[in-house]
Chains A and B, each alone.
Chain A
Amino acid sequence: MADLMNTAERAEAIAGAAEPFHLLLGPTSARDLLAWVAAELGDASALDRWFTHGGARTKALAPDVILHVVSGNTPHAALQSLIGGLLLGSRNLVKLPGTGLGEVDEFFLRLPADLRAMVETSVELPSAWLSSADAVVVYGSDQTVAALRARVLPGKTFLGHGHKSSLGVIWHDPLFESCPGAARDASLFDQQGCLSPQVFYVREAQPGSAREYAEKLASAMDQFSATYPRGPLAIEEKAAIANLRAAYRFRAAGDLRVVLWEGGADLDWTVIYEEDAWFTASPLNRVVFVKPLPPDLAGAMGPAVDYVGAVGLWPCTEELADRFAALGPSRFCPVGNMQDPPWTWHNGGVPRLASLVKWVDFEPSSSLTI
């Protein structure tokens, strides 16, 4: 049983199983995973033995059972969540989307038997799962998160990851060096994840530089697409992109403040320059907007300001991060690295392991009180 494995042994086994998922997960060595435990719990073996905590000793207690509810468009979120649960040594119930998730199945089969015994998956949500879980982690629409939150008993741990939109801010890039990275950020996972930028705001050193950036980004999107083609589209996804293109084509015909770049015969990618800074949600699947950076970006985000996931910056400096603090993201990172969050990323603004554990403290007898 996994109970007999300590954290380091589990990290080793997980890292082995995660190897083929490098593109989805980023670096996932046993060392990376243990560093994550140490960063969040204060000690890499906090789950295995007592360690010093102030004047006392303490130990982390993982939940016996974690229920992960994951949505269809984010296989990497599903794997990250499951890996966190396995690392803690909990039993993991994974509710997969109706269509299943091949990545989770493959990862499961690569686990050693000890850890495999700690994972159960289902495309339906047995009601017993909700009542037996000590902690519930949900990735999905705001409605899904709210509906499940209502069904979880108070006192149990609940982590809801609802819908998020991400964006990039190009503060100073006269040579357009950020474009290949911006194209990668907006193309990987076909924009299905919460870290996928939908709009790049470009500070205009001179009038027209945002538009020029859009043109350069379009060519970078084209290059990325030649190497990594977009995944297949359902008819409604096709319709959404084609309709958006048609709408902007109409506008571009009579309005110089709108320019459209369309890649490929089959909706491969789309870049839309629009002078209006109002945040426009992308229909996803490699459709990205470029707009001039307005003086009040948080205001231009409108209602979307409550749903900001990550903000890519170029250059990525603490000063700029402080300048855009009002956007309220849980992550500032360089443009080009938006899809590579470290394991220690506070997804949704909370530590992902530390939020799941409870603590037991131990105070040794002291000669003073005897």
Chain B
Amino acid sequence: MGGMVAADLWEAEVLRRIGPAPAADFDQILSRLHSFHYTQNAPYRAFCQSLGVDSLVARWRDIPCVPQSAFKHADLRSFPAEETVQTFRSSGTTGEGFGQHHFRTLEVYETAVREGWRHAGLPSGPFLVIAPHPEEAPHSSLSHMLATLAAKEDFIAPGGVLDLNRLRNLSGPVCLLGTALGFLHLVEALGSERIALPAGSTAMETGGYKGSGRVVARSELYAMLGEKLGLVSEDIINEYGMTELSSQFYAKGPRGLHESPPWVRAVVVDPVTLRDVADGETGILLIYDGANVGSVVGIRTQDLAVKRGDAFELLGRDPSALPRGCSRAADEWLTL
């Protein structure tokens, strides 16, 4: 069986299992995806071998988690390079370079975006987007994700110029999508003006403020959006995602917990032993993303989180991690 055929099969297998309910055989699928990646992906195989892990793992939790930064140094592609249809890049820092996540198909990615959104019970639109469209940011996974949810004409800051008129005189509730920095710029652009969005309007913010030199607490940003746009804090959603993943996590309200969609496992572990921490304790986040069919399943993030039952409370990056993040690229773009 050639690699291409196997890749087709795996894409179909994963697609069938991305949906509202967890697939009964999901845990085995993750383990078998590991075997597939092990055979197709030389850097991943070398990493597994260095840890004494071979192509077969008994449980999904035994799948080695690749450090997020590895996407900067290695080609973590589980298919022939010439079959690449899309490459998303993480924003880089001087000297460190940027991470690259390659895709053989975007169908799995886009399905995960839509199903994840639906699973979190988020509004189906209409949307207004405060972020660059993929045509302006072709390597941004965030832009692609937003364009999967919203139409091109919903992007209200083309060329980095925010069209405030699109927020005025709305006839019904709307869902605003954007980076936290984008929302901050929106608040600043409003000055003393206040636009009361129609009742029932919501917002989804993501990306943080990394590298911008600015930090605004989630509760503070939500309070500002309440004051300026009349949004209710509990109707504002935080998205947690990264270029190296295909799936996203959502938390509602200023103190909401992030939950995984059914085809993803997020585990909070001790950074040294990688054993699960007890409920209420802090550790780093490991993410096993079943939709990462063309790269690797397990990602070791640089984010700290508190385990809260099956969900997690995101604390964010460890302070020493280099400033980087998708919000940064959007900030430079907005202030051009």
Q: Which residues of A contact B (CB under 8 A)?
A: 235-243, 246-247, 249-255, 265-267, 278-279, 281, 283-284, 302-303
Q: Is B246 an interface residue (CB 8 A)?
A: no
Q: In the complex, which residues of chain A have a beta carbon less than 8 angstroms from the beta carbon of B42?
A: 254
Known: A250-B73, A283-B320. 19 other contacts (CB 8 A): A235-B271, A236-B320, A237-B320, A238-B272, A243-B69, A243-B284, A247-B67, A247-B69, A247-B70, A249-B50, A249-B67, A250-B47, A250-B66, A250-B69, A250-B70, A254-B42, A254-B43, A265-B272, A279-B95
Given A236-B304, A239-B271, A243-B67, answer yes or no on A252-B95 (Cβ-Cβ < 8 Å): no
Q: Could you tell me if A243 and B318 are in contact, using CB atoms closer than 8 angstroms?
A: yes
- Give Cα A240 to B284, complex, Å: 10
Q: Could you tell me if A253 and B284 are in contact, using CB atoms closer than 8 angstroms?
A: no
Q: Could you tell me if A236 and B95 are in contact, using CB atoms closer than 8 angstroms?
A: no
Chain A interface helix/strand/loop/mixed: helix
Q: From B282, which residue of chain A is reached at the shortest CB distance?
A: A235
Q: Could you tell me if B300 and A236 are in contact, using CB atoms closer than 8 angstroms?
A: no
Q: In the complex, which residues of chain B have a beta carbon less than 8 angstroms from the beta carbon of A243?
A: 67, 69, 271, 284, 300, 302, 318, 321
In the assembled complex, the CB of A15 is this many whole angstroms from the nearest CB of chain B, namely 38
Instruction: Indicate the size class of the contact surface on chain B.
Output: 20 to 34
In the assembled complex, the CB of A31 is this many whole angstroms from the nearest CB of chain B, namely 41
Q: From A300, which residue of chain B is reached at the shortest CB distance?
A: B95
Q: Could you tell me if B50 and A253 are in contact, using CB atoms closer than 8 angstroms?
A: yes
- Give Cα A310 to B36, complex, Å: 50
Q: Could you tell me if A254 and B46 are in contact, using CB atoms closer than 8 angstroms?
A: yes
Question: Per-position contact with A for B45-84: 1 when CB-CB < 8 Å, else 0?
Answer: 0110110000000000000001101100110000000000
Q: In the complex, which residues of chain B have a beta carbon less than 8 angstroms from the beta carbon of A242?
A: 271-272, 284
Q: In the complex, which residues of chain A have a beta carbon less than 8 angstroms from the beta carbon of B73?
A: 250-251, 255
Q: From A284, which residue of chain B is reached at the shortest CB distance?
A: B320
Q: In the complex, which residues of chain A have a beta carbon less than 8 angstroms from the beta carbon of B66?
A: 250
In the assembled complex, the CB of B296 is this many whole angstroms from the nearest CB of chain A, namely 11
Q: From B277, which residue of chain A is reached at the shortest CB distance?
A: A235
A-B contact pairs, 20 of them (CB 8 A): A235-B271, A236-B304, A236-B318, A238-B272, A239-B284, A240-B319, A243-B271, A246-B67, A246-B300, A249-B50, A250-B73, A251-B70, A251-B73, A252-B50, A253-B47, A253-B49, A254-B42, A254-B46, A266-B272, A278-B95
Q: In the complex, which residues of chain A have a beta carbon less than 8 angstroms from the beta carbon of B46?
A: 253-254
Q: Could you tell me if A240 and B70 are in contact, using CB atoms closer than 8 angstroms?
A: no
Q: In the complex, which residues of chain B have a beta carbon less than 8 angstroms from the beta carbon of A240?
A: 318-321
Q: In the complex, which residues of chain A have a beta carbon less than 8 angstroms from the beta carbon of B70?
A: 247, 250-251
- Give Cα A266 to B43, complex, Å: 28
- Give Cα A267 to B319, complex, Å: 18
**Contact residue among A238, A250, A252 (Cβ-Cβ distance under 8 Å from B271):** A238
- 8 smallest beta-carbon distances between A and B, as pairs: A253-B50, A242-B271, A240-B320, A254-B46, A239-B271, A283-B320, A247-B67, A247-B69
Q: In the complex, which residues of chain A have a beta carbon less than 8 angstroms from the beta carbon of B132?
A: none
Q: In the complex, which residues of chain A have a beta carbon less than 8 angstroms from the beta carbon of B261?
A: none
Q: Which residues of B contact A (CB under 8 A)?
A: 42-43, 46-47, 49-50, 66-67, 69-70, 73-74, 94-95, 271-272, 282-284, 300, 302, 304, 318-321
Q: Which of A235, A278, A302 has the most CB of B within 10 A?
A: A235
- Give Cα A116 to B236, complex, Å: 54
Q: In the complex, which residues of chain B have a beta carbon less than 8 angstroms from the beta carbon of A302?
A: 94-95
Q: From A238, which residue of chain B is reached at the shortest CB distance?
A: B271
Q: From A287, which residue of chain B is reached at the shortest CB distance?
A: B320
Q: From B70, which residue of chain A is reached at the shortest CB distance?
A: A250
- Give Cα A254 to B272, complex, Å: 22
- Give Cα A79 to B9, complex, Å: 67
In the assembled complex, the CB of A283 is this many whole angstroms from the nearest CB of chain B, namely 4
- Give Cα A356 to B322, complex, Å: 36
Q: From A253, which residue of chain B is reached at the shortest CB distance?
A: B50
- Give Cα A236 to B94, complex, Å: 23
- Give Cα A265 to B50, complex, Å: 18
Q: Could you tell me if A250 and B282 are in contact, using CB atoms closer than 8 angstroms?
A: no
Q: From B316, which residue of chain A is reached at the shortest CB distance?
A: A236
- Give Cα A302 to B322, complex, Å: 15
Q: In the complex, which residues of chain B have a beta carbon less than 8 angstroms from the beta carbon of A303?
A: 94
Q: Which of A253, A283, A302 has the most CB of B within 10 A?
A: A253
- Give Cα A337 to B259, complex, Å: 52
Q: In the complex, which residues of chain B have a beta carbon less than 8 angstroms from the beta carbon of A254?
A: 42-43, 46-47, 74
Q: In the complex, which residues of chain A have a beta carbon less than 8 angstroms from the beta carbon of B95?
A: 278-279, 302
In the assembled complex, the CB of A276 is this many whole angstroms from the nearest CB of chain B, namely 9
Q: Which of A237, A247, A281, A284 has the most CB of B within 10 A?
A: A247
- Give Cα A249 to B319, complex, Å: 21
In the assembled complex, the CB of B324 is this many whole angstroms from the nearest CB of chain A, namely 13
Q: Could you tell me if A239 and B94 are in contact, using CB atoms closer than 8 angstroms?
A: no
- Give Cα A236 to B305, complex, Å: 10
- Give Cα A266 to B300, complex, Å: 19
Q: In the complex, which residues of chain A have a beta carbon less than 8 angstroms from the beta carbon of B50?
A: 249, 252-253
Q: In the complex, which residues of chain A have a beta carbon less than 8 angstroms from the beta carbon of B283?
A: 235, 239
Q: Which of A243, A266, A283, A303 has the most CB of B within 10 A?
A: A243
Q: In the complex, which residues of chain B have a beta carbon less than 8 angstroms from the beta carbon of A278?
A: 95
In the assembled complex, the CB of A265 is this many whole angstroms from the nearest CB of chain B, namely 8
Q: From A243, which residue of chain B is reached at the shortest CB distance?
A: B302
Q: In the complex, which residues of chain A have a beta carbon less than 8 angstroms from the beta carbon of B321?
A: 240, 243
- Give Cα A283 to B320, complex, Å: 6
Q: From A303, which residue of chain B is reached at the shortest CB distance?
A: B94
- Give Cα A241 to B320, complex, Å: 9
